[in-house]
Amino acid sequence: MIKLENICKSYRIGTETLSILSGLALFVGAQEFVSIMGPSGSGKSTLLSILGCLDTPDSGSYVLDSQEVTKLNEAELATVRNKTIGFVFQSFHLISHYSALQNVALPLVYAGVDEALRRQKSIEVLTEVGLSHRMHHVSNELSGGERQRVAIARALVTNPAVILADEPTGNLDSSTGDTILHLLKTIHQTGKTVIVVTHDERVAQQTQRIIRVKDGRVSDAV
């Protein structure tokens, strides 16, 4: 499903060049549930951006579902993001004055899906995450856990093969975080590949495999 080889990425800051990823190699199989851990500055966020096709490496190979994505142009990368990858963020990234239903439907708007089908699919995934009774509430009327479930529903609505979750429990209390983690486990059991970036060892221990990143490389993957 996902194979990275010799991935290098650096950023220019003023007159300095800061190396973030240095020859990183990584493999995640189809339908795996894995976590990525590492100290601040280890390259986790940059790795997540590359995995999500939000950024491209300076060099190296990234094969996603048998496709070499480093050779794609911006329009092609956008198509991959919309069809293959669903994103869940720590800060939810919902539009505050939109209802849960409208937030979930957004990826389908970008994909050109007609309004009736957008509504049908959005209601289906909101029901899956247990929010059918809150679909017409705007984001600001929802609790943190409910907003994260809306974000997960939005990630699911295009039926992607891969879910990337960046600190999905980071802004939640432990009980609500457990609920979100259980939901991600359930999503994985439907046949999706789920990758969770987390600082929480307790969260990581509940995934099938932990990938540890240090100094821009994978230091351990068990």
What structural domains and CATH numbers belong to the chain? 2-221 (3.40.50.300)
- Specify the pLDDT at position 97: 94
pLDDT in tens, 136-161: 999 999 999 999 999 999 999 999 99
How far, in Å, CA of 92 to CA of 64, rounded? 25
Percent of the chain past pLDDT 90, that is, above it, reads 88
pTM of the model: 0.93
Length of the chain: 222
pLDDT at 147: 95
Q: Is the pLDDT of residue 14 over 90?
A: no
Residue with the bigger pLDDT between 90 and 62: it is 62
The residues that bridge with 19 in the sheet, in sequence order, are: 10
pLDDT (tens digit per residue) in 180-189: 999 999 999 9
**Res 10 pLDDT > 90:** yes
Output the pLDDT for position 58: 96
Q: Which of 19, 4, 162 is nearest to 68 (CA)?
A: 4
Sheet with 67-68: strands ordered across? 16-28, 2-13, 59-64, 67-68
pLDDT averaged over the chain?
94
pLDDT digits 0-9 by tens, 125-136: 999 999 999 999
pLDDT of res. 1: 87
Looking at residue 100, its pLDDT comes to 97
Query: Looking at the predicted structure, is the pLDDT value of residue 221 above 80?
Result: no
- Quick one: tokens of 136? 């017409």
- Give the pLDDT score at 33: 97
For the sheet with 193-197, list strands across it: 85-89, 162-166, 193-197, 33-37, 209-214, 217-221
**Amino acid at position 129, single letter:** V
